[in-house]
Structure 1
Amino acid sequence: MPTQEKETVQPNKQALLNRLKRIEGQVRGVQKMVDEDKYCVDILHQISAIQSAMKQVHVALMEDHTNHCVANAIQEGNKEEMINEMMDVMKRLM
């Protein structure tokens, strides 16, 4: 099922970019740990931290989407379409 391309202005763009850059650094750190044959449990702890950081990005994006895109769509009378889109997103998470 093709996804329609939509664009929006991210209200917290810089904060999201900063988080993603930190995550990128963490991923490079894990690559280095693997390359240097570091202890597996230490690597797993770092991976867990990366996953947690990604969840925070995800939550922040969902919050922005709900407060802006969803709210605007409801005001414009596109409630059904937006509910379907939100349900698709939730299904992908589970």
Structure 2
Amino acid sequence: MEYGKDLKNRLKRIEGQVRGVMGMMEEGVDCTAVVTQLSAIESAISRAMGLIVSRNLEQCVRANIEQGEPTDSLVKEAVSLLVKSR
């Protein structure tokens, strides 16, 4: 699978958010603010995982259709990956 520039940029933003939280912790910022930022990071990671799985699924389904192969197992595998990530 090819990971597009948009996905890489998402992860760079998440990386920046994590650095920001580290800075907040070093500065002794209130735990509520830290947890709020961690929650935002968690959501961003979940969205990135969902996007990766959906794009991969789309590519695999297209390839299987072109080759005349079934797609049922691909969908089940994608759902399983998303469920595991929760």
| Same fold by TM-score greater than 0.5 | yes
**Alpha-carbon distance in structure 2 between the residues aligned to 1:46 and 1:90:** 23
**Alpha-carbon distance in structure 1 between the residues aligned to 2:82 and 2:51:** 14
Query: For residue 53 of structure 2, what is the aligned residue in structure 1?
Result: 62
Query: For residue 81 of structure 2, what is the aligned residue in structure 1?
Result: 89
Residues 1:40 and 2:40 aligned together: no
**Alpha-carbon distance in structure 2 between the residues aligned to 1:49 and 1:39:** 16
Question: Conserved in 1, the CA contact under 8 Å of 2:64 and 2:70?
Answer: yes
Query: For residue 19 of structure 1, what is the aligned residue in structure 2?
Result: 10
Question: Conserved in 2, the CA contact under 8 Å of 1:23 and 1:54?
Answer: yes
Letter of the structure 2 residue corresponding to residue 86 of structure 1: A
Query: For residue 50 of structure 1, what is the aligned residue in structure 2?
Result: 41
Between the aligned residues of both structures, percent identity stands at 32
Structure 2: stretches of 5+ with no match in the other structure? none
Structure 1: stretches of 5+ with no match in the other structure? 1-7
The Cα offsets for residues 14-41 of structure 1, whole Å up to 9 and x where unpaired, read as 0001110010000011111111111000
Question: Larger deviation: 31-40 or 55-64?
Answer: 55-64
Which residue of the other structure, out of 79, 85, 89, is the alignment partner of 2:71? Answer: 79
Q: How many residues align?
A: 85
Quote the RMSD (CA, aligned, Å): 2.0
Q: What is the TM-score when the length of structure 1 is the normalising length?
A: 0.74
**Alpha-carbon distance in structure 2 between the residues aligned to 1:69 and 1:45:** 36
Question: Conserved in 2, the CA contact under 8 Å of 1:73 and 1:82?
Answer: no
